Every structure is written in structure tokens, then in C-alpha cells.
Structure 1
Amino acid sequence: MADDPFALFDDWFAQARAAEPNDPNAMALATADAEGRPSVRMVLLKGHGADGFVFYTNREGRKAADLAANAQAALLFHWKSLRRQVRVEGAVARASDAESDAYFASRSRDSQLGAWASDQSRPLDARTTFEARFAEVQARFEGGEVPRPPFWGGYRVVPDRIEFWSDRAHRLHERRLFARAGDGWTEGLLYP
């Protein structure tokens, strides 16, 4: 049994990449606004390590507004085929511009253009409006590189709690909780 939650996550994530048919890096991201109203949505994990779990998004959308008002979040990975879950809770910080630039450059061109064309989370009168904006952005950057929009970038969830949940028969599940303690971690079990 690993006593380092990041090593254990690496092991479970490798197994998920081998077993899950779609998006093993999909995670539910829960945020809350300044009034404490929660919101949850699926995002994709794009980096992880001892410094946290990274995802990217439009920084003018709802999740960014929630994080600006309340820089705490929770993540949930659910790997149904493995009958496992990982829950992560902690503070959120912006990823560096260099990190955001590097990830943005690795995206497909259409994904890069979509980042420019979308007013994420804002009302859209018709799909054709978005498609027209996408075509305008295509023309704008035709023949050249697509730079990262100034309103788009990464966030890092720096965990203070990581729970590993394994399904067991008769709902007698195993739950291992790692909690940050100074520069290290304490580990314990939770009742199912």
C-alpha cells in the first residue's frame, strides 16, 4: 500500500487510462460562488503531481468567477470500470502563464480557435452565432499560429485532502483518506 497519495494516484490513474473506454482524465469539478451556491461540471485533468491537479478553462466563465470569489474546489474522478473513485479537496491557484501557453500550444487548432470564439457560460442566442464567430476567428488566424487568449488559462487544485474509494461487495467499501499535515500527509480509513 502506498503511503504517498500522489504515488497512489499515479498508480490508479495508469490503471484507469488502460481500462476506461473514454476520458479517464475526466473529473467533476465542484466550486461555490461568494454566496456559497455550489456548482459542479466535468472538466479534464491536464496535469498532476505533488504540486496539485491542473485543468484549463476560459477565465471569464462561471467556474472562474466562482474561483475568484472562493478559491477552494473539490474534484471527483469516477472510474466505473475499475469500481474506484478519488476525491480531492483544496485551495485553487492559477497555473503560470508559461504553463498555460505550453498546454494551449499542444491543443488541436480547432480547440485553440474555439477558445477564442467562445464566451463560455454566457447565454447564446443560436448555435449559428457561435459558428459564425468560429469562422471569423478561423479567418483571423488563417495561415499563422493561434496564440493563447489572454482570458484563457489553467488552474491548479492544491489538495489538503485526497480520498481513495474502492467498491466492495454489499456496500462494504474501502475508503482511505490522506490529509495534509505540514509538509507531509496523515493517512487513515473512513467507514463506508
Structure 2
Amino acid sequence: ELAENAQAALVMHWAVLQRQIRNEGSVARLPTEESEAYFRTRPRGAQIGAWASQQSSELEDRGVLEARVKEYEDRFKGGDVPLPPFWGGYRLVPERIEFWQGRLNRLHDRLEFEKQADVWVSRRLYP
């Protein structure tokens, strides 16, 4: 989906604090070198799991996953686990950031920062 529409949003919400940050912007796939560097920081089991999992696809039986894990453990036994060709990250380059703080009676504080050319412009928004 990101290959077809390189726009995304990321939201961090802290309900107990009644605070939220929303970032919107363009995304770009990380260079292989950066993905590889991050992959190397992950535990070996997680690296094997990256190969074994068909993430978010239907899994009929947990035994299938466990068999795939065993298959890749055997395949990469005694050596480093290579970076899967399908594995990598994306970087969000913010173009708009909103800080929200909950207030009584839904009279929340909202501060927006939007990048215009090379300058960040701020404004307060109605709740």
C-alpha cells in the first residue's frame, strides 16, 4: 500500500495522560543497509521468526508456524541469519504534527505545526 500511496500518519496516544501526538507526512523505504543494521540488533529468534512468519496471513494451525520456525532454524544453523528480501522499514518524514491535550467539557488544547517550504508554521486549532 505504501508503494502506491507514500503518505502515512502515526499516532501516539497516552489515555491516562489525556495526550496525543499525530504525525502526518510522506514515507520512504529505508535503505537496505539501515534495515540490515536494525535486523542485526534483534534476537536470533526474532530473526528466524521474520523468515518463518507470513505476517498477517491466515494461519490455520500453530503447528504450521512451529514447523516453519524449525525449518529456518535448521537452514541457518551455525551461521548468521540473513536479512529476508521482503523485510525492511519505512521512515516517515513529518509534514504536519499535532499535539492534543484533553480538557474538561471537550475543550481540548490542539496545537498544529505544519511544514511550509523549510519553515514550521504553528497554529492553535479549535477542539
TM-score range, shorter chain: over 0.9
Q: Secondary structure at the match of 1:139?
A: helix
User: 2:96 pairs with 153, 161, 165, which one?
Assistant: 161
- Which residue number in structure 2 is paired with residue 139 of structure 1? 74
* 1:109 and 2:44 aligned: yes
- Which residue number in structure 1 is paired with residue 112 of structure 2? 177
* 1:87 and 2:22 aligned: yes
Q: CA deviation at 1:129?
A: 0.7
Distance in 2, Cα, partners of 1:143 & 1:175: 54
> 1:42-53 to 2 correspondence within 5 Å?
none
Structure 1 stretches (4+) deviating beyond 4 angstroms? none
- Which residue number in structure 2 is paired with residue 189 of structure 1? 124
* Higher RCO (C-alpha 8 Å, min separation 6): 2
Stretches of structure 2 that go unaligned for 5 or more consecutive residues are: none
Stretches of structure 1 that go unaligned for 5 or more consecutive residues are: 1-65
Distance in 2, Cα, partners of 1:119 & 1:99: 22
Q: CA deviation at 1:82?
A: 2.3
Distance in 2, Cα, partners of 1:147 & 1:79: 36
Q: CA deviation at 1:148?
A: 1.2
- Which residue number in structure 2 is paired with residue 10 of structure 1? none
Q: CA RMSD in A?
A: 1.2
Identity over aligned residues, as a percent?
A: 57
Distance in 2, Cα, partners of 1:77 & 1:184: 24
| TM-score, normalised via structure 1 length | 0.63
User: 1:123 pairs with 48, 53, 58, which one?
Assistant: 58
